[in-house]
Copies of this chain bind each other. A is one copy, B any other.
Amino acid sequence: MTSEKPVVDVTPEVIGEPNILSQRLAALRRQGKTIGLVPTMGALHEGHLSLVRRSRQMCDVTAVSIFVNPTQFAPGEDYEKYPRVLEADLEALASAGGADFVLAPSPAAMYPEGFDAHVHIGGVTKRLEGECRPTHFDGVAVVVLKLFNMSGADVAFFGQKDYQQAAVIQKMVRDLNLQVKIEVCPIVREADGLAMSSRNKYLSAEERAQAPVLKKALDLAKEQIEAGNRDTADLKHQMRRLISAVPSAAIDYISIADPATLEELDSVGGPAVILLAVKIGATRLIDNIVIP
């Protein structure tokens, strides 16, 4: 499972029914194959494709799920307009060497009539995204738990861009004794530093030009810390000043936190993670950087 394998192009079987995926993967598991799962909401970009490549290196079989999960959107968020581009996603997957299975279910296949299960992970869900989007992580937890269960994955791959999401999932794995290993892969960025995100498509040309300010603010704080500035209030003040100079930007939060618990730090005495959420025009973007 940990040895790196040469990548051979494969064309995925595209599956709509979770039970069919479960049957296919159970048969492969019985043959001793290891299963890698890459959960996505589609609109695949290089960030997603890096997860798929990593899965193909680490596991015998790779399943990619493409599902815009309604339970993790609140009313008034962008569930309806979130990009749904399955054909383009399959082409993008092919360009990355492919995957063995693509699960592309309907909402009714994931949440059939009478569905009534709720999963809540406490602690690490409370702040930041959890505060801005109070029902978000419950929706993430239930869909990811379903995907873990239906796939029986040995390893599941998530991007570091959604840092808090990865922390919530790792907490769920521990608390619920799930046997899946979570691999968190590095953020993939555009040439100008903007973290890749399916939501970048929402940006106007002008907003797109201003969006790299998130990464610039993270870099500013990182340089300051490396230069010996430990004062998180001052660091956040400097980040805020930099971002506020951008006309389209409105800060949701800036946090300098413990990398494991995501509790706010008063001063940077060891490892830390700097996280932020900023609206660029109407588009809410998140980004983060880990300070070792």
Q: Which residues of A contact B (CB under 8 A)?
A: 18, 22, 26, 30, 32, 114-123, 142, 145-147, 149-150, 152, 171-172, 175-179
Contact = CB atoms under 8 A, between A and B. Distances in A.
Given A18-B177, A179-B150, A172 B117 contact: yes
A116 B121 CA distance: 6
B22 A117 contact: no
B149 A22 contact: no
Contact of A120 (B117, B171, B177): B117
17 contacts: A22-B177, A30-B32, A114-B123, A116-B171, A116-B175, A117-B120, A117-B121, A117-B122, A117-B172, A118-B119, A118-B121, A119-B119, A120-B120, A145-B176, A146-B176, A149-B179, A152-B179
Contacts of A179: 22, 26, 149-150, 152
Copies in the complex: 2
Nearest to A118: B120
Q: Which among A26, A147, A175, A178 has the greatest number of chain B C-beta atoms within 10 A?
A: A175
A149 B122 contact: no
A30 B150 CA distance: 18
